[in-house]
Amino acid sequence: MDSPSGSVDRPEGVLEGVNADSLAARHGTPLQVYSANAIRNRIRSLHAALQGLDALVCFAAKANSCHAILNLMAENGVGADIVSVGELERCLRAGISGSRMVFSGVGKTEAEMSRALECGVGRFNVESVDELDGLQRVAAQRGLIACAAVRVNPDVDALTHAKISTGKAENKFGVGMSEARTWFEQARQRPNVRLDGLHVHIGSQILDLGPFRQALDRVAEFHRELVAAGHAITSIDVGGGLGVCYREGHDHPPDVAAYVEVVRHALREFRGRIVLEPGRWLVAEAGVLLTRVIRVKQGEQRRFLIIDAAMNDLLRPSLYEAWHDIVAVRQASGPMIAYDIVGPVCETGDTFALARELPECQAGDLLAIKTTGAYGTSMASSYNSRPLLAEVMIDDGRSALIRQRQSLDAMIAGEVTSPQWISA
């Protein structure tokens, strides 16, 4: 957890002045815990780095769409990057105005575009000519002008996991600059779309500034070309993707000030608004997942530590083979033992770590899976009919429940137990 102490204080089992054992006893496990201060500190450091620029920070809501998290963003001057009408509605309810949102994603429907226009969404990041034509139709029907940016695909390798790389030519996102050029040339054919922005996003969990520099240099060159051709560009959206530390001593994320300096240098000739879409960087290190050991199982070749958290609570290790540091909340003395740390879901893929060394554990011990504030609960499911976990926020020695553990009634609320059959 990104806190003054930097991690769980193992001897005391304390998370920023709140006892982890007490939280687990009060709310049960698995339990997702967030630090409000850690998120505020990230926001402040980014705003400080951006000082002097006309910049809008839009939190990538897909990273964590919990109402309390979104509300914290709103209270601290952060907008939202949304990719669905569901995220739009969540952000509105949390206090983020439509004017401080950008609508991204390759699959916007015309119904979603219509609702976004109704709510005054500030800008659409457009990813295909079909979408651009659809936006023109919807805006014309409403008698409105939609502000739009073309998402350009710069064909840059983000040097990250293949499943979260979005800026290479073979990825589904954005369009090549030759096609984007045509859109600007044909802008008068779409009078209800003001195409005056550029957008680029090359991937997520990027630990090297080189790909950012390469992509933004290409965008800056394209901006100069468009301006020379007489096209007004008022906004450049540089996306997100800045990485965080999942593995202590191994991951070395760039400093946010160094990242912003790359943006400043690449766009030094641009005089409009710069939009940033951080998601993971703002919230990942602010979260820990508390989980209890159910039992230790000695197999023929492996020793398994079976915990009550599972892949439905935190999908990243199963989906991406992602590393998360895992620590015992109360550090025990004695030898370190290598465990395969697994959950109770009926899948071999329900595995958090292989041969991970921990102090000798026994049933009932409390563990903390670190850096779970992003893409944890937002990707969670009720697979195996396991309830969505409870979430808690801590703030200056206080704690508050921000999402109740899902009940069985809530889990099956939408199911029809006595179908009313209709003849075809």
Place of tokens 């999942």: 246
> What is d(CA 35, CA 395) in angstroms, rounded to the nearest whole number?
6
* Integer Cα distance of 267 and 333 in angstroms: 54
* Tokens read off for 42: 């990230």
Q: How far is it, in rounded angstroms, from Cα 126 to Cα 153?
A: 12
Q: Where are the beta strands (DSSP E) in 309-396?
A: 326-328, 336-342, 351-359, 366-370, 390-395
Burial of 9 (0-12, 13-18, 19+ CB in 10 A): middle
| Closest among 327, 233, 230, 305 to 271, alpha carbons compared | 233
- Pairing mode, strands 351-359 and 336-342: antiparallel
Active-site residue, 346 included:
yes
3-state secondary structure of 252: coil
Give me the catalytic one of 66, 91, 147, 346: 346
User: Is residue 222 within 8 Å of residue 156, measured between CB atoms?
Assistant: no
Q: How many residues would you count in the chain?
A: 424
Alpha-carbon distances, residue 201 vs 158, 215, 396 (angstroms): 10, 9, 35
- Distance, in Å, from the CA atom of 8 to the CA atom of 79, rounded to the nearest integer, reads 30
Q: What residues act catalytically?
A: 346
